[in-house]
Amino acid sequence: MMSIYKNIFDKIGKGEKLFAVLIDPDKFELANTESFTKKINTSIATHIFVGGSIVDATATEVLVLEIKKYTNLPIVLFPGDVSQITDTADVLLFLSLLSGRHPDYLIGKHVEAVSKLRGTNLEIIPTGYILIESGVPTAVQKVTNTKALSRDNIQLIVDTAKAGELLGMKLMYLEAGSGAKLALTKTIIKAVKTEVQIPILIGGGMRSKLQIEEAYEAGADMVIVGTAFEEDESFFDILSK
């Protein structure tokens, strides 16, 4: 089977744009899985991300198993903590919080995760994760006790992404934060895209098709949206295939 990373890389090479729907197990009603997943299937989504900042230990696994009943799309773990790792998904984004200086989120949690990952079938993708300030403090900041990078210091954002690439990270996720008031600007996305060769993922605060299209135009390879679907599932209608 072709690896999901290779598939992402190949698609991007052909100029395709990717889209992920993020489901936070903590905010999602399990009984809604069938209808929600069917809407994902008819949308432009290429991936389903599952994760959140604060999630009950077994909730992720239960949700992933339920989603799998209704879709063939790859399910990607986007974990806020080690407890959210489950073999039932397809991919694990092995995230390093590069914007912060908290050792747990740079290496500590990763060491902790290894005992869960021995013998796993999960495809593990080392991913740089950069939180960029977006108007209000986000859940990630609170949980990790780190600061976001200033959205005005574009050189620092670019250098941070480049450092992650040089360390061997395979994806770079630029994050405004779940439910952010301000999505990332085209200037930020373009600046990072110009400097790094690895695929860049953009998420946080996107609520319109125009914002998604602008992110793609600026260089986003994948856009991730969660809150807009939580607030109003009719957003799927605008994003149909």
Tokens of 110: 């990763």
- Out of 8, 18, 21, 22, the only residue in the binding site for ligand 1GP (CB under 6 A) is 22
- Out of 203, 215, 218, 221, the only residue in the binding site for ligand 1GP (CB under 6 A) is 203
- Out of 204, 212, 220, 236, the only residue in the binding site for ligand 1GP (CB under 6 A) is 204
CA dihedral in degrees (105, 121, 67, 45; nearest 10)?
70
Residues of span 142-171 touching ligand 1GP by CB under 6 A: none
Q: How far is it, in rounded angstroms, from Cα 205 to Cα 110?
A: 27
Residue 205 contacts ligand 1GP per CB under 6 A: yes
- In whole angstroms, the minimum distance from the beta carbon of 229 to ligand 1GP comes to 8
Residues of span 167-186 touching ligand 1GP by CB under 6 A: 175, 178-180
Query: DSSP string covering 206-224, please?
Result: --SHHHHHHHHHHT-SEEE
Residue 80 contacts ligand 1GP per CB under 6 A: no
Q: How far is it, in rounded angstroms, from Cα 144 to Cα 132?
A: 14
Count how many Cα atoms sit within 13 Å of the Cα of residue 167 in the half-sphere of its side chain.
18
Of 96-104, 156-164, 188-196, 198-206, the window that binds ligand 1GP (rule: CB under 6 A) is 198-206
What residue number has its CB nearest to ligand 1GP? 203
Nearest to 50 by CA among 41, 62, 38, 42: 62
Residue 206 contacts ligand 1GP per CB under 6 A: yes
- Write the binding mask 106 to 125 for ligand 1GP: x where contact by CB under 6 A, - elsewhere: --------------------
Measured from the CB atom, the residue of 148 and 228 that comes closer to ligand 1GP is 228
Measured from the CB atom, the residue of 80 and 126 that comes closer to ligand 1GP is 80
Tokens of 19: 């889209």
Q: How far is it, in rounded angstroms, from Cα 198 to Cα 170?
A: 6
Measured from the CB atom, the residue of 97 and 206 that comes closer to ligand 1GP is 206
Tokens of 229: 């679907």
Q: Are strands 18-23 and 200-203 parallel, antiparallel or unpaired?
A: unpaired
> What share of residues in the chain are helix, strand, coil (percent, to 5)?
40, 20, 40
Residues of span 214-233 touching ligand 1GP by CB under 6 A: 224-228
Interacting residue ranges for ligand 1GP, rule: CB under 6 A: 22, 175, 178-180, 203-206, 224-228
